């Protein structure tokens, strides 16, 4: 208990807020976000540091994050659940799971690990100010009922994701405001939408479009997918042959999960390495998978051959080839072209096609949200995180006791959430063992001449949502300590052995 505590609650201390002079709760750690990363962080804290008082603040009314907010038809994972699921809770379903199945899995994890008492829903964090004198964060926000809340914490663990949950990205197309039909962004899917017999145009080519289109193709009169450029797809049965072989053997589900997870990770590493060492070979292999799933003579070169090499953007999984079934049955048409303008009832492409449509679905991507749009400051001075350099893709120069979980693009998000959790537990243990209060990343003298560039090298990975907002992101260096490598297999070796006393962290 802190020396300046005035009252005690079972779940924390009440201390006097230096700014309001009102007593507020103090916790050792606050986790922001009750999605898959936040639940993973809570598990690690509860099991590895039971002495810590912590809470998980969630702006929504329930857990789940992405899987709670996305309700469009067919919403499912685009990563296999053997690696997207937790390492500490076996996944026993099919590899590509629906949002409902993922929410059930997360709910079971919360119940089994006794995490429910730490979750605080309808808590929207708006401001976080670090007090150098007090060595703690002062947090302020609003509850769902409109009432303000305030608390302090020693460490802030940001697990809120990387995009705005309340809206997606929609380009400013010419004439878009004149269109008289219904416009829907998948991120804000209306409950009462009726697509029966309607001409629907889905704008976009990524995982959302590939998920949504098969789910609405039967209901709609016809679905046209309008894409500026194609995406790489990986079709295949929605099952894992190794898991199907092991499960009837009456083995411990945890053992089956571990074996299958290791095999999936090995296969993913081989594919990733092939995409970079032999990009043309990998490209042709991916395209050849599509030939038997499409009508004879289909124009794969136009509609399914991307302009970039494999894994420079995500490869979308297509379980059971459902997208291609719709094309074969004449329910779905692909159009690869750019939008010239909208009319009251159609879209006209730059190639001259006019696509009449009753409904336009803008599956045009996320709107990047850096650190939850929380207004960060230190001793009252605002922080511009874009001017910082990332420390191992999880902390930032000049900002004490704050970490952001930002997952992988080429592997499952949760793999990095696990690595970050293990690293932060080790860091918190280190602070406690040394009698220290804070750790602040800072460039060393040896890093003075280090080349500094964008968060992600566009030549390495270049999805639209990152390219549009890269200026908002922290910078990265050309040394392992100062970058997010996007390479799980390398970081899985580096993180556990990272030297916490190599000078990259300044302690107090």
Percent over 90 (pLDDT), the chain: 87
Mean pLDDT to the nearest integer, 406-422: 94
Q: Which range, of 162-176, 182-196, 425-439, averages the lowest pLDDT? A: 162-176
- Residue range(s) in the chain whose domain bears CATH number 3.50.50.60: 7-165+368-507, 176-238+295-362
Mean pLDDT to the nearest integer, 92-112: 97
Please give the mean pLDDT across all residues of the chain.
Answer: 93
Residue 6 vs residue 301, higher pLDDT = 301
Residue 254 vs residue 14, higher pLDDT = 254
Q: Which range, of 7-11, 296-300, 496-500, averages the lowest pLDDT? A: 7-11
Mean pLDDT to the nearest integer, 166-194: 94
For residue 265, count other CB atoms closer than 10 A to its CB: 19
The H or E element spanning position 31 is: strand 23-32
C-beta of residue 186 within 8 angstroms of C-beta of residue 200: no
Q: Which two tokens mark 107?
A: 């709910």
In tens, the pLDDT along 210-261 reads: 999 999 999 999 999 999 999 999 999 999 999 999 999 999 999 999 999 9
Task: Categorize the per-residue pLDDT at 467 as very low, low, confident or very high, splitting at 50, 70 and 90.
Answer: confident
Give me the pLDDT at residue 20, please: 47
The H or E element spanning position 432 is: helix 413-433
Q: Is the pLDDT of residue 15 over 60?
A: no
Name the E strands within 298-404.
Answer: 316-319, 332-336, 339-342, 346-349, 354-356, 359-362, 375-378, 381-382, 390-391, 395-396, 402-404
Residue 83 vs residue 11, higher pLDDT = 83
Closest CA to 396 of 303, 478, 473, 288: 473
Mean pLDDT to the nearest integer, 124-132: 98
d(CA 501, CA 106): 36
Q: Is the pLDDT of residue 102 over 50?
A: yes
Give me the pLDDT at residue 7, please: 26
Percent over 70 (pLDDT), the chain: 96
Q: For domain 176-238+295-362, which CATH number applies: 3.50.50.60, 3.40.50.720, 3.40.50.880, 3.20.20.450?
A: 3.50.50.60
Give me the pLDDT at residue 421, please: 98
User: If one looks up domain 7-165+368-507 in CATH, what number appears?
Assistant: 3.50.50.60
Q: Is the pLDDT of residue 17 over 60?
A: no
Residue 155 vs residue 472, higher pLDDT = 155
In tens, the pLDDT along 470-491 reads: 889 999 999 999 999 889 999 9
Q: Is the pLDDT of residue 3 over 60?
A: no
Q: Is the pLDDT of residue 18 over 50?
A: no
């Amino acid at each position: 208990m802190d020396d300046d505590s005035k009252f005690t609650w079972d779940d924390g201390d009440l201390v006097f807020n230096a700014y309001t002079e009102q007593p507020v709760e103090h916790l050792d750690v606050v986790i922001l976000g009750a999605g898959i990363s936040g639940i993973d962080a809570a598990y690690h804290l509860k099991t590895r540091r039971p002495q810590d008082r912590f809470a998980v603040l969630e702006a929504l009314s329930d857990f789940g994050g992405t899987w709670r907010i996305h309700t469009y038809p067919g919403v499912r994972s685009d990563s296999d659940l053997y690696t997207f699921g937790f390492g500490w809770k076996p996944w026993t379903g099919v590899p590509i799971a629906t949002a409902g199945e993922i929410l059930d899995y997360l709910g079971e994890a919360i119940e089994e690990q006794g995490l429910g008492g730490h979750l605080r829903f309808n808590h929207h964090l708006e401001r976080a100010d670090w007090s150098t004198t007090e060595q703690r964060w002062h947090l302020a926000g609003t509850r769902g009922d409109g009432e303000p809340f305030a608390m302090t914490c020693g460490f802030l663990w940001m697990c809120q994701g990387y995009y705005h949950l309340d809206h997606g990205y929609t380009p400013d197309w010419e004439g878009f405001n004149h269109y008289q039909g219904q416009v829907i962004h998948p991120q804000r899917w209306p409950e009462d939408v009726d697509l029966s017999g309607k001409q629907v145009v889905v704008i976009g080519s990524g995982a959302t479009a590939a998920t949504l289109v098969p789910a609405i193709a039967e209901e709609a009169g016809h679905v046209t997918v309008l894409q500026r450029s194609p995406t790489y797809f990986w079709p295949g049965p929605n099952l894992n042959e190794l898991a199907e072989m092991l499960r009837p053997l009456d083995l411990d589900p945890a053992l089956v999960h571990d074996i299958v997870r290791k095999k999936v990770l090995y296969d993913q590493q081989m594919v990733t390495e092939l995409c970079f060492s032999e990009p043309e070979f990998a490209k042709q292999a991916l395209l050849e998978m599509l030939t038997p799933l499409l009508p004879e003579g289909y124009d794969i070169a136009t509609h399914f051959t991307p302009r970039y090499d494999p894994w420079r953007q995500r490869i979308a999984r297509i379980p059971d080839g459902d997208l291609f079934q719709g094309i074969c049955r004449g329910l779905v048409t692909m159009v690869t072209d750019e939008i010239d303008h909208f009319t009251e009832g159609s879209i006209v492409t730059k190639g001259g096609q006019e696509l009449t449509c009753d409904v336009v679905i803008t599956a045009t991507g996320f709107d990047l949200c850096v650190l939850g749009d929380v207004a960060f400051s230190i001793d009252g001075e605002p922080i511009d995180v874009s001017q910082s350099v990332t420390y191992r893709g999880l902390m930032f120069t000049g900002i004490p006791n704050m970490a952001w979980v930002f997952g992988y693009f080429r592997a499952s998000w949760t793999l990095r959430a696990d690595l970050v959790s293990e690293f932060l537990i080790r860091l918190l243990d280190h602070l406690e063992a040394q009698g220290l209060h804070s750790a602040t990343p800072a460039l060393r003298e040896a890093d003075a001449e280090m080349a500094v560039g964008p968060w992600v090298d566009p030549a390495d990975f270049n999805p639209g949502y990152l390219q549009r907002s890269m200026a908002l992101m922290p910078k990265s260096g050309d040394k392992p300590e100062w970058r997010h490598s996007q390479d799980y297999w390398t970081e899985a070796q580096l993180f556990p052995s990272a030297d916490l006393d190599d000078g990259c962290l300044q302690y107090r």
